Amino acid sequence: MKTDWNAKDLDLHRFTQQGGELTANTPLAALARVLDVCLDHALVGQRQCQWVLRGELRSMGGIDQAWMHLSAHLNVRQTCQRCLEPMDMAVQVDSWFRLVADEATALAEDDDCEEDLLAMAPDFDALALLEDEILLALPLVPRHDACHAPLSAALEDDLPHPFAALAGLKLPKQ
């Protein structure tokens, strides 16, 4: 039984048939699309994504169905959109996928099922799936749980307000 799986060229059929498990620590520098949304690219090389991909067969009504489970955790550094300061975020991925014969089957069954579907492929890129799931797990608007928004420069300085002169042009009420 093969246990040395290649994440970039994974035979999904054999992986699920054999109940394969792929465990890895991947540097964030190897995940280019995740790297694009991170701050401090120089320090990102030190950060790792720990992940596990497991394959299994489940018998449903006498029919074997191939499933995969992906779990991952990592820390990324992004900009808080409220205070604009850098922040570290813990990202967790916990996703199940049912494997189907091809893309046409996945499209046909997608509307009628709750689980995520993947087309069976003999040369599947597990790192691309990992990147997709990490990007989906990131918040659209990263922000601290509690932070103070920076004060406007106009509030800090005693500068005249740009529309203050317009107040003098108002006609008195009659």
Higher pLDDT among residues 110 and 120, named by residue: 120
Q: How far is C-alpha 29 from the chain's CA centre?
A: 15
Specify the range with the lowest mean pLDDT, choosing from 34-38, 62-66, 119-123, 166-170: 166-170
pLDDT tens, residue by residue, 36-88: 888 876 666 678 999 999 999 998 888 889 999 999 999 999 999 888 898 99
Query: What's the predicted TM-score (pTM) here?
Result: 0.78
Determine contact, residues 81/94, Cβ cutoff 8 Å: no
Sheet holding 86-100, edge to edge: 21-27, 48-60, 63-79, 86-100, 116-119
Reported confidence tier of residue 1, pLDDT bands at 50, 70, 90:
very low
Radius of gyration of the chain (CA): 25
Taken in order 120, 126, 128, 132, the sign of the CA dihedral is positive
pLDDT tens, residue by residue, 125-157: 999 999 999 999 999 999 888 886 555 554 555
Determine contact, residues 142/80, Cβ cutoff 8 Å: yes
Spell out the domain ranges in the chain.
12-167
Helical residues (DSSP H) of the chain, grouped into ranges: 12-17, 32-35, 41-44, 103-110, 126-137, 153-156, 164-167
